[in-house]
Amino acid sequence: MIKPVMQIDEGALAACGEFLKAHGLKLLCAESMTAGYLSSLWSLEFHSGDYFLGSLVCYDDQCKTQLLSVPKSKIEKYCAESAVVTLRMLDGLTGESIPKADVLISVTGLAFKTNNPKQKREIGTVYYAFRYKKEKRIYKKQFSGNSGAILIQTCNSIFTDLINWLPMITMVEKKQTNDIAKIG
What pTM did the predictor assign? 0.89
**pLDDT for 1:** 46
Q: pLDDT band at 70, cuts 50/70/90?
A: very high
Q: pLDDT band at 3, cuts 50/70/90?
A: low
Find the radius of gyration of the CA atoms of the chain.
17
pLDDT tens sequence across 124-183: 999 999 999 989 999 999 999 999 999 999 999 999 999 999 999 888 766 554 544 455
Q: pLDDT band at 118, cuts 50/70/90?
A: low
